[in-house]
Amino acid sequence: MILLLLSINISELHKNNTDGIPVHMDEYVSVTGVVTANFSTNATYEYTKVFVQDETGGIYVYSPSYHGINRGDSVRIYGRVSQWKGITEIL
């Protein structure tokens, strides 16, 4: 299987269609930015939840495994565009 990634600015991820669904829903994307908030405070560190920003905007990133990402880290995130309770995120 070949997986194609779309390298994209974060602001582009927040564009929705007329039904309020991200135009890039279920596409695999790559974004680069800086971690500005880390919500991975579970004592067992079983997951990663961070907010990543670039010069165009910010996005919530969730991973079911812990990656040791810290606030201030420059990161490249690869994942699938999703929406949870109206919030666009990368899984």
- pLDDT-based confidence at residue 10 (cuts at 50, 70, 90): very high
For 27-85, write each residue's pLDDT tens digit: 999 999 999 988 776 555 577 788 999 999 998 888 777 677 889 999 998 889 999 88
- Host domain of residue 25: 6-90
When divided into structural domains, the chain yields a total of 1
Cross-strand partners of 61: 50, 90
Dist. CA 14–CA 28, nearest whole Å: 14
Residue 1 falls within a domain, yes or no?
Answer: no
Residues 6+ apart with CB under 8 A from 82: 25, 26, 88, 89, 90, 91
Task: Indicate if the pLDDT at residue 22 is higher than 70.
Answer: yes
* pTM, full prediction: 0.77
Q: What CATH number corresponds to the domain at position 75?
A: 2.40.50.140
The pLDDT value recorded for residue 63 is 78
**pLDDT for residue 19:** 94
